[in-house]
A and B are shown apart, each in its own frame.
Chain A
Amino acid sequence: MNHWPLLSLVTFLPLVGVGFIMTTRGDAEIVARNAKNIALSTSVIVFLLSLLLWVYFDPSTAAFQFVEKARWVKIGGFEVNYHMGIDGISLFFVLLSTLLTPICVLASWQSIHSQVREYMIAFLVLETLMVGMFCALDFIVFYVFFEGVLIPMFLIIGIWGHSNRVYAAFKFFLYTLLGSVLMLLAIIAVYYQTGSTDIETALHYSFPFALQKWLFLAFLASFAVKVPMWPVHTWLPDAHVEAPTAGSVILAGVLLKMGGYGFVRFSLPMFPLASHYFTPLMFALSAIAVIYTSLVALAQTNMKKLIAYSSIAHMGFVTMGIFAVTSEAVQGAVIQMLSHGLVSGALFLCVGVLYDRMHNYDIARYGGLVERMPAYGFVFMAFTLASVGLPGTSGFVGEFLILLGTFRVSTLECFLAATAMFLGAAYMLYLYRRVVFGTITRDDLRNILDLSAREKAVFVPLLLLVLWMGVYPSSFLGPIRASVDNLVQQVGAAEAGQHASAE
């Protein structure tokens, strides 16, 4: 199996689908139908193929697996390799991306009417870029994928979004680009320091402390916007509100994870001393994110905005867990990211179900839906509870491990973040109450239809995964463990080394 370039296949197969879609001809309706079918079947095949990664993954080692390496560019001494590989940290992000893409295609089945062909192409290209980003082991390759993701997402929001889409698309694009430019500078600095753009080399290189601080901040600028961390989060609610449902799903499900992934992949191992140095800052920003956005979520009147703010709070947990740098907390952070990818994705889908029917995101517009939509009520409740972090759902495992691991490092931080336990319950259940419970007062809601078979097909796999992760997380923690433990040790060793040299 290892002879196959599995990673490249998973990464670039969606582009083959794009090729097929481009060849579709005929009148608009046929083109749209064919484009949808091609996109769906391509993304399902890619997902099944990516499952092989999980099957053949060796959980006992922290080393990169399925490695592919080929010369790409060579100008004088400057050499860029097409270097791909995954470890326990990136494995599930790849799977998350390949899982959410078919779900997004399916979710857009009836809600997108114009330029369906281009829409599907955008999603498949997006899939390639996302998967490539999580697999890249060369900084230039990584940067190309990392930035490339912006383009289809910008188009998805800007073209298929709602009324204020252009403002949101530009805000999203400029915010992220500004951060990334600083990261590019840092990458160049890393190249001059290590003499190579190879990520594996950089991961084992020990940078001088003074340089670490600057590089850390430059990477932070990019990742903090992506996560998003307070106070650079304001693009997210706007982007979500304007994006079409599937755009929100990918945005919340995968794009936000790029920031967290970046911290774990680059910031911690490359700049362990700077990470340690800036931990108080990261803790402060995380705690503010959790409490501030939870309170803001409480005051929302727009369903999508509420869930967008809840995403920021949940990602606050992630950044906190990462910078606690204990084995439990970092594993928890990875699990939390995966869980959040599924749960917030599903919540946006839940909101999308209503938008498809009523074309409105106002909470006050709804109420009493459970009477007409019992299946919807059940699904929405299940994901609400997962978002609240009820034990037995994936949300609990991540939150629990993060808080547990953080308590050892800082009781204050843990204390502050744990307030999300009741703040989160308050805003989510309050949302649920206003939308689903109560009595139907508006006439046009009296005929609203419950979930269709296609919609159920979208929710069922997500629900099963959320429960699986909640009840038997060992399937996921197993492959993650070795890589995270190795990372935590590496950071610990660097800190110990600094102490020794200081004495």
Chain B
Amino acid sequence: MAALVVFLPLLAAAIAGFFGRVIGDRGSQIVTCGALVLSAIFGILVFHQIMGQSAPQVETLATWISAGGVDVAWSLRLDTLSGVMILVVTIVSSMVHIYSIGYMAHDHSIPRFMSYLSLFTFFMLMLVTANDFVQMFFGWEGVGLASYLLIGFWYDRDTADAAAIKAFVVNRVGDFGFALGIFAVFVLFGSLDFGTVFGKAPAETHEVLNFLGWQVPALTLCCILLFVGAMGKSAQLGLHTWLPDAMEGPTPVSALIHAATMVTAGVYMVCRLSPMFEYAPGALAVVGVIGGTTCMFAATIGMAQNDIKRVIAYSTCSQLGYMFFAAGVSAYGAAMFHLFTHAFFKALLFLGAGSVIHAMSGEQDMRRMGGMWKKIPITYVLMWIGSLSLAGIPPFAGFFSKDSILAAAWASETAVGRYSYCLGTFTAFLTAFYSWRLIIMTFHGHSRADHETQHHIHESPWVMLSPLFVLAAGAIFAGWLADDFFVGADRTEFWKNAILVLPYDDSIAHAVHNSLFIDYLPLAAGLTGILLAYLCYMWRPGIPVAAAKQFRALYLFLLNKWYFDELYDRLFVRSAFSLGDGLWKTGDGMVIDGLGPDGISAATRELAREASKLQTGYVYHYAFAMLIGVVALITWYLVPR
């Protein structure tokens, strides 16, 4: 049955992709949506089955690569961790598929779009059910491919093509680390199978490895290299630049890939590899610091953006930061919990934003929106639900998960934990602020759209709204329903041995000793953020304008996303092109060819030409040469030696 969950989307993708013209738009929608709904139903059944079993179950499908010491199989690993991911992926994906019927109704290549979406789902499921590093890498690269194809879906737009390449290449930089991590794991453990590696990890804590000439702790090295991969996929500080640009893709893609599922793969990876990370405290600290920093950094940028999707994209980046620092303090349960709730409310927010964009005839700039709430009330309410959940207001889902992360971070009593707690709490304030900034700019005040667009504003059709209700239900209830299982009383029973937490690291357990102040500070920060947003954008609209003028440098810094794009462009992109050009024209052209083949042939020709000049054809030249020869010869003999 698990195989059905995974391969139904592949089958659907193949049918819609290769026979899209035969079965038509409607046919491909039916095939892909049908397959995905089936897959989701089976996914729920599989999850139920996993809950009943006591140990991870591995279904081996076929051998893959077997050479030397490498022995890798195609297989499906079913335990709580993959179960939760199957649940999230299949449910959100099927909702997004259905939503796309409405959202993409006017597009002229519907079969291609549906095929890509299903293909993505297949790769994502392969990723989460992997039983070894290589299959995980397969899924990892596969979702990257699907992401590339979908970002560049509207290939006639230059910006979309550029964003697609950027996403793929930046991700590949991360994968470069991932791949090196896999090699290091293989050298250290002699195997790439999760079970074997996890079993051996405790014994290898003190091994060292020579890496690029330095002797480094082997396990920490493995974990950090693998984490570089996670940073790429999950858009963490430094490798985040692709995610905002990825919003060039159609909105359902942003919801599914760039919010709910693919970008969380990095978090999933760290949780999956908890039996390794737990024995590499140095690597965990790196995860925590990067996560904490990203969470704050992305939120600050989100405050200044004007494109509705970009605000939510930076918000995603920031929320992923929360998940990472949760993992960094060994609160893997909390990280997965936030991943779970975030999938619902962030997909809801994105699809809601899609509904707004749909209503606005494609307009994404919030400065040209406003005053829409009466015209699209259902979308408005849904956006409120998503935002309340995102801001961590009880009893919405985000409250439970964010709360458990921050509590665990404080309770871990490490410097990294404290650092993350402080930034995370400040970010809770920023999150609430930019969320309500978005709501107010989009739905309240005077409409700033042109007359034509205003006239067209309409509520989305039911095929788009009904998936939103499902996601909204998740955004409301997923928190208190799942709290006990993920991080509460039933958590050991729930996770079994899918994640490993060493007893003295168990920050979730330690969190019960937190003071009330620590527990409620994030909530207070969130409420303050909402109030401040109302103050700035509803009641005193002059404040943000004045603030932007007063702190112009800071505003530009945030508006331009900390100038990361400009920096990378100068540092890497342009220098790579000019270096390539130089190596080609100077290196190959002048040096190698110039000294090598062309040089030799030119020299030969030159020599021949010079030599041929001797043959002038004048007798007196030859006579003169002979005379000189004779003189030279005689001199040779006469000179005494």
Contacts and interface: CB of A to CB of B under 8 A. Distances in A.
A295 B583 contact: yes
B169 A401 contact: no
Contact of B580 (A299, A327, A392, A408): A299
A297 B141 CA distance: 23
Given A296-B583, A296-B584, A328-B67, A407 B180 contact: yes
A171 B597 contact: yes
A430 interface: yes
A471 B212 contact: no
A325 B213 CA distance: 20
Given A292-B587, A392-B138, A421 B579 contact: no
B452 interface: no
Contacts of A235: 597
Interface stretch (A154-162, A275-283, A347-355, A433-441): A433-441
* Secondary structure type dominating chain A contacts: helix
B274 to A, nearest CB: 24
B286 interface: no
Contacts of B616: none
A481 B176 contact: no
A231 B165 contact: no
Task: Give the residue among B68, B137, B169, B212 with the most A Cβ atoms within 10 A.
Answer: B68
Given A297-B580, A328-B67, 9 more contacts: A292-B587, A295-B580, A299-B583, A392-B138, A400-B179, A403-B183, A407-B186, A421-B175, A426-B165
Given A298-B577, A407-B180, A327 B138 contact: no
B70 A328 contact: yes
A477 B65 contact: yes
A391 B137 contact: yes
Interface string B142-174: 100100100010011010011011001100110
18 contacts: A171-B597, A174-B597, A234-B588, A295-B576, A295-B580, A296-B587, A299-B581, A327-B69, A328-B68, A390-B141, A391-B137, A404-B182, A421-B179, A422-B169, A430-B165, A433-B152, A433-B165, A474-B65
Contacts of B141: 390-391, 396
Given A400-B134, A403-B183, A422-B173, A433 B68 contact: no
B187 interface: yes
B128 to A, nearest CB: 15
List 3 A-B pairs, minimum CB-CB distance, nearest first: A327-B68, A299-B580, A407-B183
Contacts of A412: 212-213
Interface in B61-109: 62-70
A385 interface: yes
B515 interface: no
Contacts of B155: 370, 436-438
A102 interface: no
Interface residues of A, number: 61
A422 B172 contact: yes
Interface string B556-583: 0000000000000000000011011101
A296 B593 CA distance: 15
B461 to A, nearest CB: 29
Nearest to A477: B67
A114 interface: no
Contacts of B69: 327-328
Contacts of B184: 407
A73 to B, nearest CB: 35
A21 to B, nearest CB: 35
A171 B600 CA distance: 11
Contacts of A300: 584
Interface string B581-608: 1011001100011001100000000000
A473 B580 contact: no
B469 interface: no
B601 to A, nearest CB: 8
B210 interface: yes
B187 A407 contact: yes
Interface in A446-478: 471-474, 477
Contact of B592 (A174, A231, A327, A404): A231
B249 to A, nearest CB: 14
A417 to B, nearest CB: 11
A430 B597 CA distance: 31
A404 B183 contact: yes
B520 interface: no
Nearest to B591: A231
A422 B586 CA distance: 24
A405 interface: yes
Interface in B171-226: 172-173, 175-176, 179-180, 182-184, 186-187, 209-213
Nearest to B140: A391
A419 B176 contact: yes
Contacts of A433: 152, 161-162, 164-165
A425 B63 contact: no
A332 interface: yes
A298 B580 contact: yes
Given A296-B583, A296-B588, A403 B179 contact: yes
Interface in A215-259: 231-232, 234-235, 237
Given A231-B592, A234-B597, A407-B186, A425 B169 contact: yes
Interface string A380-417: 00000100001110001100110111011001101100
A368 interface: yes
A233 to B, nearest CB: 8
B592 A234 contact: yes
Task: Give the residue among B66, B69, B155, B213 with the most A Cβ atoms within 10 A.
Answer: B155
A237 B584 CA distance: 11
Nearest to A293: B583
Contacts of A472: 62-64
Contacts of A331: 67-68
A378 to B, nearest CB: 8
B10 to A, nearest CB: 11
B355 to A, nearest CB: 28
A175 B172 CA distance: 36
A231 B576 CA distance: 20
A186 interface: no
Task: Give the residue among B187, B210, B584 with the most A Cβ atoms within 10 A.
Answer: B584
Given A298-B580, A328-B68, A438 B165 contact: no
Interface string B417-432: 0000000000000000
B230 to A, nearest CB: 16
A481 B165 contact: no
A326 interface: yes
A425 B67 contact: no
B597 to A, nearest CB: 6
B65 A400 contact: yes
A229 to B, nearest CB: 12
Contacts of B64: 471-474
Contacts of B581: 299
B66 A299 contact: no
Contact of B597 (A175, A419, A481): A175
A402 B458 CA distance: 57
A237 B184 CA distance: 36
A385 B123 CA distance: 15
Contacts of A430: 165
Contacts of B138: 391-392
A411 B184 CA distance: 9
Nearest to B210: A411
A405 B576 contact: no
A80 interface: no
B576 A426 contact: yes
Interface string A330-362: 011000000000000000000000000000000
A485 B176 CA distance: 28
Contacts of A67: none
A45 interface: no
B506 to A, nearest CB: 34
Interface in B116-135: 134
Interface in A5-35: none
Nearest to A297: B580
